[in-house]
Chains A and B, each alone.
Chain A
Amino acid sequence: MRCNVVPSSFDPTDEAMLAFPLPISWQWSSCERFLRERAARIVMTRLPLFWQLEVLLHDVCKAVGAPLFIGSPQNMPVGAAAIAAMGIDTIITSGEDCGAFATHLSDRAIPLPKNLFIVRTPEESWGTPPTLSRAGVRIHQEVHLFPGVVIAEQCAHADAGVQACFHLSDGVRIDTRGSDSYLTIDKELPLPITDLEIPFSLRAGGTCACGKQILEKIL
C-alpha cells in the first residue's frame, strides 16, 4: 500500500519518533463534519506543520468550500492579523496552542472566532480551558493517537463546559485488563493498531444524553 506518513509523536524533540504510515485515501471526516455543521467560512490552521495534517485539512476545506489559511503556532501576530483582516471564523488548533493564542487575541481586543477545533494528544488534559468558554464560541475537541488518527471526540450534544464529554470514535475499541487499557483501531491501516497499550486507563463512565458511553480518562 502506498502511504503518506505522519509522526508517531506530537513532540518534535522526541528522539523515539517514527513515521507512521497512513493510506493516501485517509480522510479527516470528524473535521469535515464539524466544518459543515458550523458552516465554516474561512479556516485557519495553527497546527504544527510537521504533524503533516495540512493536506488532509485542505481536502476537508475543499469539500465544504471554505478557503484555508496556514498560520504558524510560532507566529501569533500574523495569526491575529489574519483574523482581523479576513474575519476568519474557524480555527483548527492544538491543546498546547489554544489557550495562549486566545489570550493573545484577547489582549489585542480581537474577538475569538466562533468555531474552535482543538486537536489533543492522548497524554494531555482533555478539559476545556476556561479562557475559551465564551458565549457564541463553539468548541470541538478530539483526541488523536497520532496526528490524523482520531480515537476520541467531544460529544456535540453534551454541554461543552469545562469538563468536556468524550466518546470513542467509530472503529476504535478499548479493552481494559486489570488497570491497563489497550486500544484497537478497526480500520484498514498499513500498520494495524491492535491491542496497543496506552499509558493511562480509559473506562466507560456512564451514558451520555446522546445515548453513547462517556469515556473517562484515569491517569
Chain B
Amino acid sequence: MTNLPTLAHIVTAATMPHAPSFYRDRYGMRGESALPSIRTWEEWHALPRISREDLEARSPLERIFCPLSSVDFFSASSGTGGKPPLFSPRGVVAGYEYRAEWYAMKGPFLSGIHPPHRVQFMLQQRERPARVVTLDPNNLHASLRLAAAAGVDGMYVPVFLAAQIAEYLQALGASKRVQYVELASEQISNSLIRRLQEIFPAAAIYASWGMTEVDASPMGIPCRPLAVNEKTVYHLKENIHMDIVNPETLAPLPLKAGSEGELLLTSYPESAAFPLIRYRTGDIGRIVETSCKRHSQPTFTIVGRAESDFIKVPGGVLRADEVERVLTELNPALERFELHLHQTDTPSGVHYRAVLHVDAPDTELPALARSVALSLRIGPSFTYADGEREGRFEPLQCVPLASSASNQKNRRMITHPIA
C-alpha cells in the first residue's frame, strides 16, 4: 500500500490551480480555497470518492492532466444508463512488465486486449523482437490464421473468446508451442481452465484484473498460475493504491485477510494522462493474504460486482434502463422487474441465461420473453436474441416477480456466481 505523503502529493498535484478543474470541482474548492488536508488516514478516507458517472459527466479532453501530445491513446468502454461510451485518455504505454516473471517472450505475442502497441513497447523495453499479432474479434479466424503463421507463443485474450481462440489455434496445429496465456478479468470457470490446459499443454494460464478507464490497467497482476478449484488471486501493481470499503455504507474496511468490500483505486503512474483518485471500481474484492508465499505481498481476489444498473456480458452490457425501455414499450404497466443473470459452467465454456422477474399478471410470459429478447439491446446493434442465435446466451425466460429469490431491496440487476 502507498504511504500517506505520496497520496497527499497526488491530491496536491491534481488540485493545483494550473491543473484541469476536475478535482477542484469535485472537492468543492473555490477560488483560492485551501487544498484538502491529507495528514491522517482519516482525512484520506474522508476525501470524496469519484465514480464512473463523475468521469462521464466531463469531456475526455477536460480529464487530461498532461499535454495532449503526451496522451498515448484514448480507450472506450461501453456506455451505461443509455449514455455514450466513456472515453478515457491514457498516457501509460508500459504496464506488462510483470509477464517477465512467467514468460520468456521468445516468440510473437497475440494481443487480444487492445491496444496492441503496448505489447510492442514491452517487448522493445526487454530487448526482444517486437512481434505482435493483433486479434480482431470481428475477424477472429483471419487474425488467428496470421497468429498461427507467425508462431505465437503467448497471448492476452478476453475470457469469453478464450475457448474459441484455443480451439481454432489447435485446429491450425498452433497450440502446442503456446507457453503463456493471460485472461482478462471476468470470472473464469474450472471448465475453461481445464480446456485451456488440455489445448495448450506447454502453457501456464494466468489472469489479470483491469479496467479500460484506468491508465495503468491491468491493475491486478497475477500472483500465481490459475488452477482448477483455486481462487484467482492478484497483486496490486506498483503505483496503484487500493482502499476497500463497505459497499453500502462506504465506510473504510481494514486491509487484512478476509476483508471484503468495494475496491477504490488510486492510480498515479508518472506518465498517467489522468490521475485517478479514490475511484469506485464497482468490483467487490476480498483480501486473501497479507503476504503471499512467493512474493511476500498482499493478494486479493474479485468476488463480484457492487450494486449496479448494468451487467457485463459477452458482446456488451445488459442495462437496467434498457430493460425498462423494452418492457414499457411492450406494455406501459410493466415497470417493476428484476433481471437475474445465471452462469453455468460447461465443457464448452460458461453459458449465460437471463431470467426476467416481472410484475405482469395476465401476460403470456413465454411470448413476453420472446418479445423482450428481440428488442433488448446488448450493444449498439446487437440484441439478446442475436446472442441466442450465436449461442452466447440461452433463451431469455420471464417469470413472475413474486417468485424472485433475491430479496435485495432496490436491486434490479443481479448476477449469480458461476454454478
Contact = CB atoms under 8 A, between A and B. Distances in A.
Interface of A: 2-7, 12-13, 17-19, 24, 41-42, 48-50, 52, 54-55, 58-59, 62, 65-70, 72-75, 77-78, 81-82, 84-87
A115 to B, nearest CB: 16
B7 interface: no
B61 A49 contact: no
Contacts of B60: 85-86
A73 B139 CA distance: 11
A58 B85 contact: no
Interface string B40-75: 000000000000000000011100000011111110
A55 B129 contact: no
B114 to A, nearest CB: 6
B136 A48 contact: yes
Given A69-B73, A78-B76, A19 B142 contact: no
Contacts of A84: 84
Interface string B132-150: 1111111101110110011
B75 to A, nearest CB: 8
Main secondary structure, interface of A, reads: mixed
A82 B77 CA distance: 11
Interface in B68-93: 68-74, 76, 79, 84-85, 87, 89
15 contacts: A5-B133, A5-B146, A50-B134, A50-B142, A54-B117, A58-B117, A62-B72, A67-B68, A73-B138, A74-B138, A81-B85, A82-B76, A85-B84, A85-B87, A86-B59
A57 B367 CA distance: 49
Nearest to B87: A85
A8 to B, nearest CB: 10
Interface of B: 59-61, 68-74, 76, 79, 84-85, 87, 89, 108, 114-117, 120, 129-139, 141-143, 145-146, 149-150, 379-381
Contacts of A65: 68-70
B157 to A, nearest CB: 13
A81 B84 CA distance: 7
B169 to A, nearest CB: 14
A132 B133 CA distance: 32
B129 A2 contact: yes
Contacts of B145: 17, 19
B85 to A, nearest CB: 5
B95 to A, nearest CB: 15
B146 A7 contact: yes
Contacts of B114: 49, 54, 70
A85 B61 CA distance: 8
Nearest to B69: A65
A66 B73 CA distance: 8
